[in-house]
Amino acid sequence: MTHTTVLIIVFFCALMIAVSFGIGVWAKKKATTAQAYFGGTAMFGPLAVGLSSMAGIASAFALVGVPGIIYTSGNAMAFWMLSGAAFAMSYIILGKKVRAMAEIAPISSLGDICDVRFNNNHVIKALMSIIICLGCVGYLAAQISAGSTLIAQLVDIPPIVAGFLIFGLLTVYTALSGEVGGLLSQAFQGFIMVLAGLVLIIAFFVVTGGFGPVLEAVSAAGEVTGSNGVTKVMSAGLLDAWGTMPGGISLTWMLIPILGCVGQPQCLTRMYAVKSPRDLPKAGLVTAVTHTIVGFLAVVAAYAALWLVATGTIDPLVAGDQAIYAFADYLGIWAQVLVYAAVLAAALSSASMFLTSSSTLISKDLTSALGIKIAPEKQIKVSRIFMFALGAVAIVVSIYSSEMVALLGTFGWGTLVSGTFPVFVMGLLWERCNEKGVMCGLIVSFVFNILPLVPGLGFAFPSALPGYFITSALAIAVTVAVSLATPKQKLSPKMDAVMKL
């Protein structure tokens, strides 16, 4: 990459960060109440909510990791893009209930929903806060690591400097404006990702001629060894439903992104941010369409890289994560600018989402569950302090503890699923779900999410399936079993009306 190209890419990335910072500072004047600061409750239209929700979930892993997995292991991860449809499913089955909660009580966080549904049960609220916070912190560190490394490589500065420069600014504007600035800046960053997706998807079909020629080239290429000494084994096996991964792992990669989307905080918290309940279908449609575009970008980037290697146009990649960059480098400067900006936008949007979620869970929901009372007028100040501290710690950990980031980032999505499904998905969809059932389900989730993190324990489930998949299944099964074995919970008239929606 030439020096001029690097300067242009850095300029546009800096411009995007500056615009995001400006949005966050401007939004501070709208974050005047705790409900606005923590939840952005009933404040935004479907376009902003949809783009924000998509950007929060389509992280740097989506744009870099997913193409890398497809390039390395084949077609199974391509099913990830079907999670775009999961957004529509989420809004259909949960949207009106979550939004209705904001009509019957002052809702500004997931903890508030938990209080209303389960009669202010502090154990449920505390466990839910800790489990979701674990997943959020893991994802936060992973996004900071990805964004810092990207910029550090471009401008040849230490990653810690890049981390504090980029994500320090993000922490400042997010702390100032809370979810209001977070949602609006994420919507802008989501637009950048969609724009990059549309341009590169069109470029894929123009350059390769479509999936027909790509699949023919990949299936017939055999072993390809480049001048760099790296060998890539191509075969028709890469292209079947499972790819080269074991069937159980491939099945998990297909199911967890699709089912797990329903219980992600990036989706749940945006449902009560919609200004009017009538806008929920539009928000769901915006999220589904935009995520499908970004998901398809990840797929075409992977297959473009495979095609370039199969045809001998480029050397085999040293690492699968280079797939999207290899495609952009082949297309030229305009594609490189879009791809690098989109990857940074994905890291920024997810980082700000998980930063606000983590600080809210710790400073508002967990403190409340532990009986620590904070005056409403002081809650925002306390949350800002937590946000600055959490942002600084996450930046340092993400740069200097790569093993911890890899561990946390890997289990983040599944952890969020195991912590949200018993409380919000089952709790709002199944009237028979009661406090004892959810409490027991969360205890199971907490224990089996913590055990793999204990140093030296080496805990692992005796199964080929990822541990978080089994943990989520156990948490749901225990919630159902205990709820059926214990008396039905009596709901308030307002809560009963929400459940019947």
Tokens 């952890």 found at: 415
The burial of 115, by beta-carbon neighbours within 10 Å (0-12 exposed, 13-18 middle, 19 or more buried), is given as buried
Which residues make Cβ contacts (< 8 Å) with residue 188, sequence separation at least 6?
19, 20, 23, 51
Mean pLDDT comparison of 31-40, 87-96, 234-243, 308-317, highest-scoring range: 308-317
Per-residue pLDDT at 401: 63
Q: What is the rounded distance in angstroms from the CA atom of residue 491 to the CA atom of residue 469?
A: 31
Instruction: Indicate the pTM of the whole model.
Output: 0.90
The burial of 479, by beta-carbon neighbours within 10 Å (0-12 exposed, 13-18 middle, 19 or more buried), is given as buried
Per-residue pLDDT at 402: 57
- CA torsion through residues 345, 346, 349, 352, sign: negative
* Fold annotation for 3-27+44-400: Sodium/glucose cotransporter (1.20.1730)
59-73 core/surface letters (b: 16 or more CB in 10 A; e: else): bbbbbbbbbbbbbbb
271 touches 98 (CB < 8 A) = yes
What mean pLDDT is predicted for residues 114-120?
91
Summarised one tens digit per residue, pLDDT across range 245-297 is 777 777 777 777 777 778 788 888 888 899 988 898 899 899 989 999 998 99
Give Dmax (Cα) for the chain.
71
pLDDT value at 302 more than 80: yes
What mean pLDDT is predicted for residues 69-73?
87
- Does residue 109 or residue 87 have the better pLDDT? 109
pLDDT value at 358 more than 50: yes
pLDDT band of 209, cuts 50, 70, 90: very high
What mean pLDDT is predicted for residues 457-467?
76
Amino acid type, 235: S
- Does residue 288 or residue 399 have the better pLDDT? 288
pLDDT value at 398 more than 80: no
Q: What is the rounded distance in angstroms from the CA atom of residue 1 to the CA atom of residue 494?
A: 61
Q: What is the 3-state secondary structure (H, E, C) of 257-277?
A: HHHHHHHCHHHHHHHCCECCH
pLDDT value at 77 more than 80: no
Q: Would you tell me how many other CB atoms lie within 10 Å of the CB of residue 116?
A: 20
Assign residue 42 a region (left: φ > 0; alpha: ψ between -120 and 50; beta: otherwise): left
- Identify the weakest region by mean pLDDT among 93-102, 235-244, 313-322, 327-336: 235-244
Structure tokens at 87: 């957004």
pLDDT value at 26 more than 90: yes
- Identify the weakest region by mean pLDDT among 44-58, 72-86, 199-213, 292-306: 72-86
The burial of 248, by beta-carbon neighbours within 10 Å (0-12 exposed, 13-18 middle, 19 or more buried), is given as middle
pLDDT value at 44 more than 80: yes
Per-residue pLDDT at 213: 92
What mean pLDDT is predicted for residues 112-139?
88
Per-residue pLDDT at 185: 95
**The total number of residues written for the chain in this structure:** 501
Which residues make Cβ contacts (< 8 Å) with residue 100, sequence separation at least 6?
277, 497, 498, 501
pLDDT band of 412, cuts 50, 70, 90: low
Which residues make Cβ contacts (< 8 Å) with residue 358, sequence separation at least 6?
133, 136, 137, 140, 390
The CA-atom distances, in angstroms, between 484 and each of 241, 436, 477, 488 are 38, 10, 11, 8
Q: What is the rounded distance in angstroms from the CA atom of residue 217 to the CA atom of residue 84?
A: 29
Integer-rounded Cα radius of gyration of the chain: 22
145 touches 398 (CB < 8 A) = yes
Average model confidence (pLDDT) across the chain: 86
The burial of 330, by beta-carbon neighbours within 10 Å (0-12 exposed, 13-18 middle, 19 or more buried), is given as middle
Q: What percent of the chain has pLDDT over 70?
A: 97
Which residue ranges make up each domain of the chain? 3-27+44-400
pLDDT value at 406 more than 50: no
Which residues make Cβ contacts (< 8 Å) with residue 48, sequence separation at least 6?
183, 184, 187
131 touches 422 (CB < 8 A) = no
What mean pLDDT is predicted for residues 208-232?
89
Which residues make Cβ contacts (< 8 Å) with residue 290, sequence separation at least 6?
50, 51, 54, 190, 193, 194
Q: What is the rounded distance in angstroms from the CA atom of residue 353 to the CA atom of residue 105?
A: 23
pLDDT band of 393, cuts 50, 70, 90: confident
Q: What percent of the chain has pLDDT over 90?
A: 37
The CA-atom distances, in angstroms, between 344 and each of 9, 143, 259, 402 are 11, 9, 26, 19
pLDDT band of 405, cuts 50, 70, 90: very low
